[in-house]
């Protein structure tokens, strides 16, 4: 008999023993839910227990078909009995069923090892009974038939008579709507159907942007309910026992109405209350030519957001009155009673000439959601007056010639009633003689002073002119309004004895005057980023050329003939 035939029984015995040892060494993984059956929207714990270390980490993805995995935890323990050490492992999953019925807890693979199968019965939620639940939500709205863009107050109340932790609440969802949270949550205690509850109240403002039937989806609360339990004597840490519960609110239906047909789209502003007012500095509307004055217009509404507020300033100012509006100030706040919004506009007004100006009325059309009527808020027409600057009058007075025949002519006219014609002629020639002598004396002293004076002041004046030109050109090139202002003030003090831009502008021609006033407005409105200096430099060069002709320096050469 061949030798390999004799070894067959031995090989069979080896395979049998190997299979027995493998089955004895296999890891057993059991599955045990903490409750069975359970209700839908209530969590439970599924524990996977292994009597040894599995081959690999578990893959719980098959559970996600019928369950939502909320939390995972792992524990292990070691025991030594008769000098033999054994380890056990546990995976504790907090899950929530996705549907009702008989659900299968599938086998979970731990590498080459696998857990057992198990089943779970899930009941539908019980119908409402006379006994109140320990945790539920209530929602309500202030108006189920609002107009389009009208504010709807959505109130949520969470009732509980148990302690909860790690709660999460969804936000209200509504397509084609603006939703804003109002204020802070309120907490208080109340009674509901004879039971004591702790209540958390939260409010939202909803502005539907489309007419028709709209449904506000239910809100969902997921929270861990703390379960009272005895302390484990063999546990080093005293952990609280919890179970997760999910509750949902009712769905709210809105029947949104379109705006009334007799109201234009640009005049549609549905709010609860509206205030429109204006302010002037020192409550005075008297202005000075060339100097700015700021008019503030404020619109305050209850029951709207800043995005729905209209613009207040319109380009309809009277002629010769320039207006420079600043960036509007927009504010909104969610209060307990609803949203409030504010829009404030500041406009700098600069009159170009003296006279009376009539500012047009400002109107804001709105829809009163309380009375269901259209209303108009109005600032009436306002008449303001502009007077010439005082330095302009002084300039006109100073332009009167110092030597003129006016006094003699006046004296001659006054003497007609008392002196005869001959005396008047004599007085006229005497006055003319003395005036001529005075003029000749003045010319003599001026020419003598020019001879004594050297060329140094004239040279310094030229250096100053060059320095001003260079500095102003640099400021305009860099679009630096602050630097341009400083250079113009220096130039004005030296040439006109003036120390303000508005007064300096009155000494210049029209083009430079406009550019200086524009610079003054930009600095006043604190809107320096948009200023461009090229126009100011061009106007200054043109004005300076004309000015230089009027005040050209004297010829430094000595006169050929001396008086």
- Which token pair is 81? 């009995």
∠ CA(263), CA(267), CA(254), 5° rounding?
70
124 against 448, higher pLDDT: 124
126 against 264, higher pLDDT: 264
* Per-residue pLDDT tens over the stretch 91-101: 999 888 988 88
What is the distance between the alpha carbons of residues 490 and 480, in angstroms, rounded to a whole number?
A: 16
Are the C-beta atoms of residues 253 and 215 closer than 8 Å to each other?
Answer: yes
Are the C-beta atoms of residues 329 and 364 closer than 8 Å to each other?
Answer: no
Q: How confident is the model at residue 454 (pLDDT cuts 50, 70, 90)?
A: very low
What is the distance between the alpha carbons of residues 106 and 505, in angstroms, rounded to a whole number?
A: 90
Fold matches, 25-123 and 135-231+239-256: yes
DSSP designation for 532: -
* Per-residue pLDDT tens over the stretch 329-352: 999 999 888 999 999 999 999 999
Sheet with 164-169, strands from edge to edge, namely 164-169, 220-227, 241-248
Alpha helices (runs of H) in 415-498, residue ranges in sequence order = 421-452, 456-477, 481-496
- Which token pair is 37? 């059956």
Check whether domain 265-390 has CATH 2.60.40, yes or no: yes
In terms of Cβ atoms closer than 10 Å to its own Cβ (0-12, 13-18, 19+), residue 308 is middle
Q: For residue 36, how far is the Cα from the chain centroid?
A: 54
What is the distance between the alpha carbons of residues 382 and 34, in angstroms, rounded to a whole number?
A: 80
Check whether domain 135-231+239-256 has CATH 3.30.450.20, yes or no: no
Neighbours of 93 (CB within 10 A): 22
The predicted pLDDT at position 36 comes to 81
Q: How confident is the model at residue 391 (pLDDT cuts 50, 70, 90)?
A: low
| Mean pLDDT score of the chain | 79
Residue closest to 352 by CA, chosen among 150, 478, 506, 180:
506
Residue closest to 287 by CA, chosen among 197, 375, 372, 356:
356
Are the C-beta atoms of residues 513 and 505 closer than 8 Å to each other?
Answer: yes
Sequence ranges of the domains in the chain: 25-123, 135-231+239-256, 265-390, 419-452, 456-550
Helix (H, G, I), strand (E, B) or coil at 356: strand
Q: How confident is the model at residue 260 (pLDDT cuts 50, 70, 90)?
A: very high
The predicted pLDDT at position 478 comes to 86
* Per-residue pLDDT tens over the stretch 264-318: 988 999 999 999 999 998 777 788 898 888 999 999 999 999 999 999 988 888 9
The predicted pLDDT at position 180 comes to 94
Residue closest to 343 by CA, chosen among 377, 305, 374:
305
pLDDT beyond 90 at 448:
no
437 against 250, higher pLDDT: 250
Q: Using omega within 30 degrees of 0 as the cis cutoff, is the peptide bond preceding 232 cis?
A: no
- Which token pair is 404? 């003129």
Half-sphere exposure of 177 (CA within 13 A, CB side): 28
Residue closest to 302 by CA, chosen among 273, 326, 277:
273
Helix (H, G, I), strand (E, B) or coil at 254: strand
Question: In this structure, are strands 44-50 and 29-33 parallel, antiparallel, or unpaired?
Answer: antiparallel
Check whether domain 25-123 has CATH 2.60.40, yes or no: yes
The pTM for the full model equals 0.56
Are the C-beta atoms of residues 196 and 161 closer than 8 Å to each other?
Answer: yes
DSSP E strands in 193-305: the ranges are: 195-208, 212-216, 220-227, 241-248, 252-256, 270-271, 273-279, 286-288, 293-302
What is the distance between the alpha carbons of residues 385 and 356, in angstroms, rounded to a whole number?
A: 4
Report the chain's C-alpha Rg in angstroms: 47
- Which token pair is 392? 């302009």
* Per-residue pLDDT tens over the stretch 185-228: 999 888 888 888 999 999 999 999 999 999 999 999 998 888 76
pLDDT mean over 65-78: 87
pLDDT beyond 60 at 9:
no
Neighbours of 339 (CB within 10 A): 24
């Amino acid at each position: 008999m061949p030798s390999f035939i004799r070894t067959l029984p031995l090989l069979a015995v080896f395979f049998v023993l190997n299979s027995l040892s493998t089955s004895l060494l296999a890891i057993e993984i059991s599955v045990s839910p903490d409750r069975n059956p359970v209700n839908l929207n209530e969590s439970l714990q599924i524990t996977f227990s292994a009597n040894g270390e599995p081959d690999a980490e578990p893959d719980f993805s098959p559970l996600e078909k019928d369950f939502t995995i909320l939390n995972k935890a792992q524990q292990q323990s070691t025991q030594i009995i008769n000098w033999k050490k054994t380890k056990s492992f546990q995976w504790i999953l907090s899950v929530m069923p996705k549907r009702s019925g008989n659900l299968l807890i599938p086998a979970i693979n731990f590498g080459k090892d696998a857990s057992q199968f198990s089943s779970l019965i899930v009941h539908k939620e019980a119908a409402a009974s006379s006994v109140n639940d320990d945790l539920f939500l209530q929602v309500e709205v202030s108006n189920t038939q609002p107009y389009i863009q009208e504010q709807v107050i959505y109130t949520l109340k969470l009732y509980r008579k148990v302690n909860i932790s790690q709660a999460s609440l969804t936000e209200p969802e509504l397509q084609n709507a603006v939703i804003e949270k109002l204020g802070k949550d309120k907490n208080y205690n109340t009674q509901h159907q004879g039971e004591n509850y702790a209540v958390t109240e939260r409010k939202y403002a909803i502005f539907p942007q489309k007419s028709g039937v709209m449904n506000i989806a239910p809100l969902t609360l997921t929270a861990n309910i703390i379960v009272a339990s005895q302390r484990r004597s063999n546990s080093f840490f005293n952990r609280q026992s919890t179970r997760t519960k999910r509750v949902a609110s009712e769905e709210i239906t809105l029947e949104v109405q379109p705006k009334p047909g007799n109201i234009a789209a640009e005049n549609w502003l549905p709010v609860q209350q509206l205030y429109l007012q204006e302010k002037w500095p020192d409550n005075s509307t008297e202005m000075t030519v060339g100097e700015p004055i700021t008019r503030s217009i404020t619109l305050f509404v209850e029951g709207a957001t800043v995005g729905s507020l209209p613009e207040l300033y319109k380009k309809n100012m009277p002629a010769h009155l320039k207006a420079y509006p600043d960036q509007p100030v927009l504010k909104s706040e969610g209060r307990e009673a609803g949203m409030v919004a504010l829009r404030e506009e500041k406009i700098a007004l600069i009159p170009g000439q003296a006279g009376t100006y009539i500012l047009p009325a400002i109107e804001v059309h709105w829809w009163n959601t309380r009375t269901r009527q259209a209303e108009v808020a109005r600032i009436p027409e306002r008449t303001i007056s502009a007077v010439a600057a005082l330095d302009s009058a002084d300039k006109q007075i100073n332009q009167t010639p110092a030597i003129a025949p006016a006094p003699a002519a006046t004296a001659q006219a006054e003497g007609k009633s008392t002196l005869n014609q001959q005396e008047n002629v004599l007085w006229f020639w005497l006055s003319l003689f003395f005036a001529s002598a005075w003029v000749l004396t003045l010319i003599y002293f001026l020419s003598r002073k020019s001879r004594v004076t050297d060329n140094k002041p004239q040279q310094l004046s030229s250096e100053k002119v060059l320095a001003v030109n260079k500095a102003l050109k640099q400021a305009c090139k860099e679009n630096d309004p602050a630097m341009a202002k400083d250079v113009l003030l220096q130039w004005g003090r030296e040439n006109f004895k003036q120390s303000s831009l508005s007064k300096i502008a009155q000494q210049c021609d029209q083009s430079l005057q406009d550019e200086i006033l524009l610079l003054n407005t930009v600095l006043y409105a604190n809107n320096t980023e948009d200023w461009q200096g090229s126009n100011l430099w061009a106007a200054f060069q043109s004005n300076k050329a004309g000015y230089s002709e009027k005040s050209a320096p004297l010829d430094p050469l000595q006169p050929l003939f001396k008086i």
